Amino acid sequence: MTPDDLIRHFEDAAVGRTSLGDAFDALARLGGGSGAMMFSTEEMRPGLIGGAFAPEMQRDYQTLNWKSSDVLTPTVRGMPRDAVVFIQDFLTPQIIESSRFFTEFLAAFDVKYGAGWIFDLDGEPWALTIMRSAAQGVFGDADRALLTAIAPRVSRCLALLNQSSAARARGMREALDSRDRPYVIYNHVGMVTHVSPRARGMLDHDALCIRDGKLFSALPDANERLHNISIAARNGAAGMKNLQLPQAQEFFIPRGGVGPVMVTPLRVRAPPLDALPGPQIVVRLSDLQNHPTPRAEPMRALYGLSPREIEIAQRIAVGGDPARIAEALGLQTSYVRQVVKSILSKTGRNRIGELVALLARLPDEH
């Protein structure tokens, strides 16, 4: 493994040809360590990406609350960017030997020594570190020279990776804008950073508005679900699992006097890239009272729906429930419920909410 080989690993990871975990494992091998990873140094940011044991390390850090004993992250947060440092450069042997963070948390992964540097991703400071066991020994001058040579190149690859992974958010935004669909975007700290023009007109109701930089509802159950979207944007999928919190899911918000709004959170990046800074969740808002009716042909061609099933599915897509649909079509409610069950079966959905989300993605009649 040469420095050029390593950079090719990170360049391939930046464009999706290989996994980022493989690149970090290659960095660990080049640096004579047992593992390598990068982590956000910001408060309340659990982001951690790395090689083979990074997911387990993040899980233990979160579930066992090692943040309260972490003497490392607060120390490196203010260090100069792109300057290679060793742990022994800024922590005394007494701290290393007495801190539970070293003697218990890092020791569980056979980590004794570390070397790395601080770099910025989208304005947020991140630390990259190579870890060694006691048997692998301390880092020395030759290691510093090697890491100093590769640090800027690795940092540039990671910046490219962050930009390319965020491109999916831009693509989703452009697709929604082209169809004039309402949506908002949450960033990596759980705050709304963009509201589409159509969404602004929907966020003026007690049932759904923006307060303190986040979606808010005066309805307690809906607000709890909205708050969960913010938490999910900040923690990523792995973080939510570690904290035993539910992933952000689609739901309806009733609005008195007007139709309900369907809230559909969509992750922009797959794990572990959802730990990176930038856009994290696109929340699509569907005003079912004014929602476009999906065209019949895609429902017939894709799912084999009958004319009656298409008729009922179109009414479900714009907020109709079985009782109202039955009344409008002069049918028995029990019959409409049976047709809905058939539609769910043919489309592979389990609930009406999932069906509405599917229908919202089909071409409409406008």
Q: With 90 as the cut, is the pLDDT of residue 354 above it?
A: no
Q: What number is the average pLDDT over the span 54-81?
A: 86
Q: What number is the average pLDDT over the span 22-47?
A: 89
Residues 254, 262: Cα–Cα separation, whole Å: 9
Q: With 60 as the cut, is the pLDDT of residue 366 above it?
A: no
For the chain, the average pLDDT equals 90
Q: What number is the average pLDDT over the span 313-333?
A: 88
The answer for residues whose C-beta is within 8 angstroms of residue 31's C-beta and 6 or more apart is: 115, 130, 143, 146, 147
- 50, containing H or E segment: strand 48-50
Please state, for a pLDDT cut of 90, what percent of the chain lies above it: 56
Lowest mean pLDDT among 22-31, 102-111, 357-366: 357-366
Answer for the pair 242, 62: CB distance below 8 angstroms, yes or no: yes
Does domain 180-290 correspond to CATH entry 3.30.450? yes
Residues 306, 168: Cα–Cα separation, whole Å: 35
pLDDT number for residue 44 = 67
Q: With 80 as the cut, is the pLDDT of residue 8 above it?
A: yes
- 158, containing H or E segment: helix 141-178
pLDDT number for residue 351 = 83
Q: With 80 as the cut, is the pLDDT of residue 190 above it?
A: yes
pLDDT number for residue 270 = 86
pLDDT number for residue 24 = 96
Tell me the pLDDT tens digit for each residue of 204-259.
Answer: 778 999 999 999 999 999 999 999 999 999 999 988 998 899 999 888 888 876 77
In this prediction, residue 5 has a pLDDT band, given cuts at 50, 70 and 90, of: very high
CATH 3.30.450.80 positions along the chain are 3-165
If one compares 256 and 272, the residue with the highest pLDDT of the two is 272
Q: What number is the average pLDDT over the span 2-28?
A: 92
pTM of the model: 0.79
In this prediction, residue 151 has a pLDDT band, given cuts at 50, 70 and 90, of: very high
Q: With 80 as the cut, is the pLDDT of residue 358 above it?
A: yes
Q: With 90 as the cut, is the pLDDT of residue 83 above it?
A: yes
313-328 burial by CB neighbour count: b if 16+ within 10 A, else e? bbbbbbbbebeebbee
Q: Which of 123-127, 170-174, 312-316, 343-347 has the highest mean predicted lDDT (pLDDT)?
A: 343-347
Residues 318, 341: Cα–Cα separation, whole Å: 18
Q: What number is the average pLDDT over the span 177-189?
A: 90
Residues 179, 176: Cα–Cα separation, whole Å: 5
Q: With 90 as the cut, is the pLDDT of residue 131 above it?
A: yes
If one compares 360 and 81, the residue with the highest pLDDT of the two is 81
CATH 1.10.10.10 positions along the chain are 296-360
pLDDT number for residue 310 = 94
Does domain 296-360 correspond to CATH entry 1.10.10.10? yes
CATH architecture under which domain 3-165 falls: 2-Layer Sandwich (3.30)
- Per this entry, what is the length of the chain? 366
